[in-house]
Amino acid sequence: MIDTALNFLKKYVDNRFSATIGAPEVIVADVPKDVADIENDKIYFTLINIEEEKVLKNLPAYQNASNGSVQLMNPELRLNLYLLVSAIFLKDDTSYERQLKYLSMVIAFFQGKHVFEDVDFEALDAGQGLEKIILDLQSTTLDQNNQIWTALQTKLSPSVLYKVRLVVILDKDAEPVSSTFEVKGIGLDLKMKS
């Protein structure tokens, strides 16, 4: 699901860039370690952290089995992904201005639409299996930004950090934690005794 979510967002931005002349390529990848290695202008979508969404943690789920038993299943896992969107372009006299221009466009795209649901996944024929994703712009301090780029082992480039919320992980072939037979009724005598 992580790859599905990031590829959906890539496809969304690609689709929005499609009418723009000279738009850079959008890719889901690590930022290059050496800027000299880049061959053309690119917007990078780089996953830098994953955390479990504990606030919306579900209780264990129950499902009916074919033999009439009720099976206890582990709850689905909801994740928050931290997505670094960076503009890394070939160096020339206008590259920095173009990086800022296209990064601003990506920010505007996600400002205009930051919640994606079934209808959006179907419209782009992407995101199969996703329920809903929400993008929140994350503010980072200069120190945090420095730590991110130091960890990536590359030079600072214009970038923005998004928290992509509610990516659900659920194993369709998971084994039940336990099984019990369904309770059909409880033998209570409801007649009033005098």
User: Can you list the domains of the chain with their CATH numbers?
Assistant: 2-171 (3.30.2000.30)
Rounded Cα gap, residues 34 and 43, in angstroms: 15
pLDDT, position 87? 94
What average pLDDT is seen over the chain?
Answer: 84
Q: Is the pLDDT of residue 101 over 60?
A: yes
pLDDT, position 60? 61
* pTM to 2 decimal places: 0.80
pLDDT, position 124? 86
Higher pLDDT, 164 or 39: 164
- Please provide the distance, in angstroms rounded to a whole number, between the alpha carbons at the two ends of the chain: 63
Q: Is the pLDDT of residue 185 over 60?
A: no
Ramachandran region, residue 22 (left: φ > 0; alpha: ψ -120 to 50; beta: rest): left
Rounded Cα gap, residues 8 and 2, in angstroms: 10
Q: Indicate the residue type of 36.
A: A
* Range 107-113 average pLDDT: 95
Q: Is the pLDDT of residue 26 over 90?
A: yes
pLDDT tens-place string over residues 29-88: 999 888 777 788 999 999 999 998 877 666 666 666 666 677 776 777 888 999 999 999
Decide if 152 contacts 49 (C-beta within 8 A): no
pLDDT tens-place string over residues 116-127: 988 988 888 887
Q: Which of 101, 127, 97 is nearest to 1 (CA)?
A: 127
pLDDT, position 172? 62
pLDDT, position 77? 80
Q: Which of 86, 15, 4, 11 is nearest to 48 (CA)?
A: 86
Residue 189: φ, ψ to 5°:
-95, 110
Which residues, at least 6 apart from 154, have a Cβ–Cβ distance to it below 8 Å? 31, 32, 33, 34, 35
**Region of poorest pLDDT, from 28-37, 63-72, 130-139, 142-151:** 63-72
**Region of poorest pLDDT, from 32-36, 87-91, 153-157, 169-173:** 169-173
Ramachandran region, residue 71 (left: φ > 0; alpha: ψ -120 to 50; beta: rest): beta
